A = this chain, B = another copy of it.
Amino acid sequence: MKQQGKKKATIYDLSILSGCSASTVSAVLNGTWRKRRIKESTAELIQNLAEQHQYTANLQARGLRSSRSGLVGLLLPVHDNRYFSSMAQTFEAQVRSHGKCPVVVSASRDPQEELATVETLISYSIDELFIAGATDPDSVHGLCEAAGIRHINIDLPGTKAPSVISDNYQGARMLTQAIIKRFDDAAAPLKPEELFLFGGRNDHASRERIKGFRDIKRELLDHDSDACIQPTGYSPDMTQKAFEAFYEREGKLPRGLFINSSINFEGLLRFMAQHPHETFADIVVGCYDYDPFGSFLPFPVIMIRQDTESMLAKAFELIEETRPAVKIHLIQPELVHPRTALKGPLDSIRDIDA
């Protein structure tokens, strides 16, 4: 009964085999047959034939006709990082549970690439788009708007579509505070000029985090200075260079380090590879983003875990509203103490056999 190497069966094939019209076959197979008052026995006949011939609908044809595809897109800056890959994992699970097909693509934080990618997705009539960390969410909004595609910003907000983001300001406050607290019963308490922020650039998230960092620093250490802020972009290499430069200048690292993202943290790793253990004997790192391995490094690493589950859940909720308000929804992130291995989306995957 299997068709080896042949073309896929279409409703027309089944139409001939069953003696019914193609429209009847279509109705039976897409579930609208009761509405169309098709006899139960006819439906069964066709369903059996469909199974025997391994019929599956051509979703391009269906999409073309109904101008909906069943695809839901997630636009990511990059894959290769625990924050985003874990978001992708959660996204997939949630989309599937809604009976749709998830599609994840990355655009390398490149505005051009972002727009081009979204254009492509739109040309495939994706039904909904989740825009995570777009450099220019409002342009992306323009495209979606014009195409009538429901969309929502995640992680980085836009001004024209609803956004669900981490409370970066609060998160940064928590993190900065935790770094400082960590020195409470150290031999020498942390001096204000020993607490630096590295990484990030001029995006909403970085700005908020920097604000939180400064505010806490002012409140707890009564100190504020631009010199303590080193935005190095989102590149491991630039971050490494910044650390090297600092080390060259000062002969040591700052004892308190606020690192803007796990990507920047990789810059610190590169620096570490060049320097002996002792260089890091007395430092405390706070990293905005959680990475399980990062949490167990040889020095205390405090991390912020952004709640991608809640963010996505909220986003799904909003995207289903008919006319969601264009506002920013803040999701509280979580402070993760050193040496903590949190569960992740992988844990909900059942692992058959062994």
Query: Chain A: residues with CB nearer than 8 A to chain B?
Result: 2-8, 54, 56-61, 63-64, 69, 71, 78-82, 84-86, 88-89, 92, 101-106, 108-110, 117, 119-120, 122-125, 135, 145-148, 201-202, 231-238, 263, 265-266, 269-270, 272-273, 291-298, 339-341, 343-347, 349-354
Contact = CB atoms under 8 A, between A and B. Distances in A.
A57 B123 contact: yes
Contacts of A125: 58, 60
A155 to B, nearest CB: 16
Contact of A79 (B86, B272, B341): B86
Given A233-B351, A273-B340, A86 B80 contact: yes
A124 B57 CA distance: 9
Given A79-B79, A80-B344, 20 more contacts: A3-B146, A56-B122, A59-B123, A60-B69, A60-B124, A64-B64, A78-B349, A80-B89, A81-B346, A84-B85, A85-B85, A102-B105, A103-B104, A110-B349, A135-B352, A202-B354, A236-B341, A236-B346, A238-B354, A263-B346
Given A101-B120, A108-B349, A349-B108, A341 B269 contact: yes
Contacts of A344: 80
A145 B8 CA distance: 11
Contacts of A82: 80, 82, 85
A74 B125 CA distance: 20
A279 to B, nearest CB: 12
A138 to B, nearest CB: 14
A277 B351 CA distance: 30
A213 to B, nearest CB: 17
Contact of A341 (B106, B231, B272, B296): B272
Contact of A235 (B58, B340, B351): B351
A146 to B, nearest CB: 6
A84 to B, nearest CB: 8
A293 B339 CA distance: 13
A202 B146 contact: no
Contacts of A147: 8
A54 B88 CA distance: 31
Contacts of A54: 146
A110 B352 CA distance: 8
Given A104-B79, A201-B353, A353-B201, A266 B238 contact: no
28 contacts: A3-B146, A8-B146, A54-B146, A56-B119, A56-B122, A57-B123, A58-B64, A60-B123, A64-B64, A78-B349, A79-B86, A80-B86, A80-B88, A88-B104, A101-B105, A103-B104, A109-B351, A109-B352, A201-B354, A234-B351, A236-B341, A236-B346, A238-B351, A263-B346, A266-B341, A266-B346, A273-B339, A293-B294
A321 to B, nearest CB: 18
B298 A297 contact: yes
A132 to B, nearest CB: 13
User: A4, A79, A233, A341: which has the most chain B beta carbons within 10 Å?
Assistant: A79
A85 B145 CA distance: 30
B101 A104 contact: no
A106 B92 contact: yes
Contacts of A101: 105, 117, 120
